[in-house]
Amino acid sequence: MSAPTTDKIGSDRKAPSFMPKDLSVGKVLLEGRAFLALIVIIVVFASLSGNYFTTGNLITMSSHVAIYALLAIGQLLVVLNGGIDLSVGSTLGLSGMVAGYMMQGVKIPGTSTTAFPSVWVVVIVCCLVGALVGLINGVLVGRLKVAAFVATLGTLYVVRGFAELMTNGQPYNNLSGDPSLGNTGFNWLGFNDILGIPVGVWVMVVVALVISLTLSRAVFGRWLYASGGNERAAELSGVPVRRVKTSVYVISGVCAAISGLVLSSELTAASPVNGTSYELTAIAAVVIGGASLMGGRGNIRGTLLGAFVIGFLSDGLTIVGVSAYWQTVFTGAVIVLAVLLNGIEYRSRRPRKTQSPREPKAPTGAGLSGTESLGGAVGSPQT
């Protein structure tokens, strides 16, 4: 005997539904496109090459993806804020060059002494260099109101130029260090593993978790989504919009520096041309992951999937013997398709309600209460 769907209070009460009313196959395919694309890529290349879907190859490809993902995570924060950071590839290259310079020994001015800093000092200095580049971008965009595209494009050339000036365009080789000088261990990041997973992948996971928790649990995350969705309304609600804008570029610069350290460690060499055009790869991963280039919408999960789509597609094309020129064509086609699908997804959504500038809600304290109500109206993490 089947269970009744009525009770004593209301005989016409309907049985609870566990499926959203507006759920459709098209919506599921649209919102889950990055995951579906990754599955299709794996299935296609696994059928074309027996070496593709093996544990060793998946680990190797994940190590490559970590470089893109670290850049894309920082880029996501900038995109959520409604901006764009074109300097991350150059920052990656400069970070590697600074690491190479320090690993070769730093001559102390005015003396004949050469200092060989430990690897941890090298890592901290490189992160500070990335933060400095991001701070310059943040000041240009957030304080001086320079368009993000123009400001970061200029920084792209300046930073790349500094990287080339350090050695007149020549690379630093052999960054393994010298045991007698106490500066060994730089290649640990690129060649070692923990529980069978490359250290670079663990770094990507840790950074992704920290940023994800920041976006979902911290006040900064609410500020970021609110200011990215509607900057004017967020400012009226007490959100420190300019501070948030500057902060996302600093975080993006640090992520780029970490990515440069991982890449240089894997290569045990640093070149000023490392990271060339990687800024476009990072933007592509963010777009494929479903973030809106207009700001206010996107999440870490989608961005990581976007990075895996690009990485696994690129490595798969290499394994089956497709030329580098055709790889560029396929990657570009995927990006164009992702942008088209993004446009369809966000056009299909209802217009978001915004608060009238003439009737601002009174700021409350640090803006948390106002932002909480605002966050649901102008921007929120995708689910």
Q: What is the pLDDT of residues 164-197, one digit of tens each?
A: 999 998 999 878 777 777 777 788 877 888 998 9
* pLDDT > 70 fraction of the chain, expressed in percent and rounded: 83
Can you tell me the distance from the alpha carbon of 224 to that of 206, in angstroms, rounded to the nearest whole number? 21
| pLDDT for residue 9 is more than 50 | no
Give 240's DSSP letter. Answer: -
8 Å CB contact between 88 and 278? yes
Can you tell me the distance from the alpha carbon of 289 to that of 304, in angstroms, rounded to the nearest whole number? 7
What does the pLDDT look like over 246-287, one tens digit per residue?
A: 999 999 999 999 999 999 998 888 999 999 989 989 999 999
Can you tell me the distance from the alpha carbon of 107 to that of 120, in angstroms, rounded to the nearest whole number? 18
Tell me how many helices (H) and strands (E) the chain has. Answer: 15, 6
| pLDDT for residue 370 is more than 70 | no
- Token pair, residue 198, equals 């490359």
pLDDT average, residue stretch 336-342: 82
8 Å CB contact between 200 and 189? yes
Per domain, the residue ranges of the chain are 31-106+114-346
Q: The whole model's pTM is what?
A: 0.82
8 Å CB contact between 186 and 265? yes
- In the Cβ-directed half-sphere of 19, how many Cα atoms lie within 13 Å? 6
8 Å CB contact between 303 and 286? yes
8 Å CB contact between 82 and 250? no
| pLDDT for residue 147 is more than 60 | yes
42 Cβ contact list (under 8 Å, min separation 6): 52, 53, 312
Can you tell me the distance from the alpha carbon of 281 to that of 263, in angstroms, rounded to the nearest whole number? 15
Count CB neighbours of 311 within 10 A.
Answer: 23
Can you tell me the distance from the alpha carbon of 202 to that of 69, in angstroms, rounded to the nearest whole number? 12
What does the pLDDT look like over 81-118, one tens digit per residue?
A: 999 999 999 999 999 999 999 988 888 877 878 888 88
Structure confidence at residue 201 (pLDDT): 94
Can you tell me the distance from the alpha carbon of 342 to that of 213, in angstroms, rounded to the nearest whole number? 25
- Token pair, residue 374, equals 């605002």
| pLDDT for residue 360 is more than 80 | no
8 Å CB contact between 186 and 266? no
Cα 127–133–136 angle (5° rounding)? Answer: 140
| Torsion (CA) 70, 375, 372, 383 in degrees, nearest 10 | -60
Cα 196–201–204 angle (5° rounding)? Answer: 150
Statement: 31-106+114-346 belongs to CATH 1.10.3470: yes
The residue behind tokens 């699908």 is: 341
Can you tell me the distance from the alpha carbon of 383 to that of 380, in angstroms, rounded to the nearest whole number? 9
Best CA proximity match to 345, nearest among 21, 26, 73, 113: 26
Cα distance from N-terminal residue to C-terminal residue, the chain: 38
- Token pair, residue 111, equals 């003396």
β-strand pairing of 193-194 with 172-173 = unpaired
Q: Please compute Rg for the chain using Cα positions.
A: 24
